[in-house]
Amino acid sequence: MIETKIEIAEKKHRSTIGFWLYLMTDSLLFASLFAVYIVLKDGIASGPEAKDIIVMPLVLTETILLLASSLTCGLALLSFKFKKIRQAVVFLALTYALGVAFLTIELTEFSTLIADGHGWQHSAFLSAFFVLVATHGAHIAVGLLWLLVLIIVLARKGLTSKLERQFTLFGLFWHFLDLVWIFIFSIVYLGGLL
């Protein structure tokens, strides 16, 4: 059975709407985690407060890396639009590398906190902190896997209209994660220093 152009357009439209619905549910998830964090941030028991565990140079480095990855992702999408595939691949590789660097710093932060005896089980504050920041980190890890798969498909099949749309959806997801990080940076890290 041959699909008409209208049927193909309707499928694309439905999948795009479905992806926006997914981002809305993810927004609700993060809003809930932020609410929990705000309620529990003063529940330190006899453990450290946020200002005791925040290493601002690392957090600033993470922020710069993630924002730079958002820029390179946007440049890759623009490159696709102008059919500059090699340039797009370079920007995608940079996006991937910056994402990996961000995640490496975050995992280092977590392992240092746990090694110092400040694991998630020690206080309500630490539980809320780890769940919120780790949920964002898990999304970054999934995004990196998704990007890697897209790059492999691009290398094997070349740029198709379907793949270009998938890269656009990935871009939405990646920019969404940057937006969430800005809230984490502002509420958890900057707010924790006050």
List alpha helices for the chain, DSSP H: 5-40, 50-53, 56-81, 85-115, 124-157, 161-184, 191-193
Angle at 140 between CA 191 and CA 95, to 5 degrees: 105
Does the CA dihedral 57-114-107-170 come out positive or negative?
negative
Is the pLDDT at 7 greater than 80, yes or no? no
Residue 25 in any domain: the answer is yes
- Residue 69 half-sphere exposure, CB side, CA atoms within 13 Å? 31
- Residue 11 pLDDT level (bands cut at 50, 70, 90): low
63 within domain boundaries:
yes
Q: In 3D, which of 142, 167, 21, 157 has the Cα closest to residue 81?
A: 167
Digit-coded pLDDT (tens) for 59-80: 999 999 999 999 999 999 999 9
Residue among 174, 112, 167, 185 nearest 141 (CA):
174
Of 106, 116, 103, nearest in space to 144 by CA: 103
pLDDT score for 113: 96
pTM confidence score: 0.91
Over the Cα atoms of the chain, what is R_g? 19
144 part of a folded domain: yes
Tell me, yes or no, whether 75 lies in a domain: yes
pLDDT at 12: 64
Q: What average pLDDT does the structure give for the chain?
A: 93
Q: Is the pLDDT of residue 8 over 60?
A: no
Q: What is the pLDDT of residues 101-139, one digit of tens each?
A: 999 999 999 999 999 999 999 999 999 999 999 999 999
What pLDDT, on the 0 to 100 scale, is given for residue 10? 63
Distance CA 186, CA 124 (A): 20
- Rounded mean pLDDT of 154-180? 94
- The answer to whether position 47 is within a domain reads no
Alpha-carbon span 118 to 145, nearest angstrom: 29
CATH number, domain with residue 165 = 1.20.120.80
Structural domains of the chain, count: 1
Instruction: Report the share of the chain in percent with pLDDT over 90.
Output: 87
Residue 189 lies in a domain: yes
| Residue 21, domain extent | 5-41+54-193
pLDDT on residue 3: 62
CB-count burial class (<10 Å; 0-12, 13-18, 19+) for 82: exposed
pLDDT of 13 over the 90 cut: no
Give the span between the Cα atoms of 33 and 11, in whole angstroms.
33
Question: Does residue 176 fall inside a structural domain?
Answer: yes
Residue 2 has pLDDT above 70, yes or no: no
Considering the domain boundaries, does residue 46 fall inside one? no
Are 193 and 50 spatial neighbours (Cβ–Cβ below 8 Å)?
yes
- Binned at pLDDT 50, 70 and 90, residue 172 comes out as very high
